[in-house]
Structure 1
Amino acid sequence: MTRVEFYVLSSTSSADRLRAACQLASKAWRHGMPVFLRCADEAQCAEVDELLWRFKAETFVPHSLYRDDPLAPVVLGLNDEPAAQQGLLINLDPSLSPFIERFSRVIEIVNQEPEQLHSSRENFRTYRQRGYDPQRVEL
């Protein structure tokens, strides 16, 4: 069954949330796991794309937008069906992915912004209702 984790940040900054997503994607890629980074919208895809180029000067994370290369090591997309199997889904969208079962691991990144906390709590409950055992990880 898919492993679900909620990584909880102490800040309210959306920039911290995106930076954490990039760090997690980089770590998973270095360990050989395909990554699908699900963004909330096209603007967030563009922001994460830019951040992946510059968040660590000494590291390159091979990535692509889904429409350009759905089989890149790190794929940025929206509600796209993942091309790779059994990888990591980093979900930045407020809703659950319709393709959860296609991943071996799902990470939801939570900051302390009230609207984001609300959607994360709803997602946590929904995962439980669907039979998953979501875990909380403090960052």
Structure 2
Amino acid sequence: MTEIAFHFNVPDKLSYACRLLRKAYRSEAEVGVVAPVRLLGELDRALWSFEPLEFIPHASARLAGSAISKHTKVWLAADAADVPHHAVLVNLGEVVPEGFERFDRLIEIVSADPADRQAARQRWKHYGDRGYAIQKHEVGVT
């Protein structure tokens, strides 16, 4: 069964996602990131400029299976079905990613924005109603 973790009160979702992806990259984990296309574009740009000496190789999941596949384990996708592995899925979007259950682990990143938190509550309920154990991490709480 998929392990699900919510990371709440994230001050900046893109910056947090970059740090999370850097950690995953260093541990050689395979990670897919699912989000609306506009947000994926912002994340792509952020990953290019996140830390000058710590580039995180990443690519659009549409390129899975191409020559670039041997250079990255971080895939950006508008649809979880396009991610070419079943390891970790990071959700930056507001809806439950369709097909999340094929992944070993799902990480939900949630800002302090009231609308984002409300959407996260609906996702939490969705997972809980289906019997998934959920871990909660408060990030921005001091």
Task: Return the TM-score normalized by structure 1.
Answer: 0.88
Q: Deviations over 1:24-62 (max 9, x none)?
A: 11211221211101012x211111000011111221111
Runs of 4+ deviating beyond 3 Å: 69-72
Q: Alignment length, in residue pairs?
A: 133
How do residues 44-59 of structure 1 correspond to structure 2 at under 5 angstroms? 44-59=39-54
* Paired AA for residue 73 in structure 1: K
Equivalents in 1 of 2:47, 2:61: separation in Å?
Answer: 15
CA contact (8 A) 1:66 1:80 kept: no
The gaps in structure 2 that reach 5 residues or longer are none
Q: Which residue of 2 aligns with 1:27?
A: 23
SS at match of 1:9: strand
Deviation at 1:94? 0.6
Q: Which residue of 2 aligns with 1:131?
A: 131
Q: Which residue of 2 aligns with 1:36?
A: 32
Deviation at 1:134? 1.1
CA contact (8 A) 1:28 1:88 kept: no
Q: Does residue 1:88 correspond to 2:84, yes or no?
A: no
Q: Deviations over 1:48-95 (max 9, x none)?
A: 00001111122111100112336441111111412112x111101111
The change in CA–CA distance for 1:107 and 1:8 in structure 2 (over 3 A counts) is same
Q: Which residue of 1 aligns with 2:60?
A: 65
* Paired AA for residue 116 in structure 2: Q
Equivalents in 1 of 2:16, 2:80: separation in Å?
Answer: 22
Q: Which residue of 2 aligns with 1:76?
A: 76
Query: What is the RMSD of the two structures over their aligned residues, measured on CA atoms?
Result: 1.5
Task: Return the TM-score normalized by structure 2.
Answer: 0.87
Question: Percent identity of the aligned residues?
Answer: 32
Q: Which residue of 1 aligns with 2:121?
A: 121
CA contact (8 A) 1:9 1:138 kept: yes
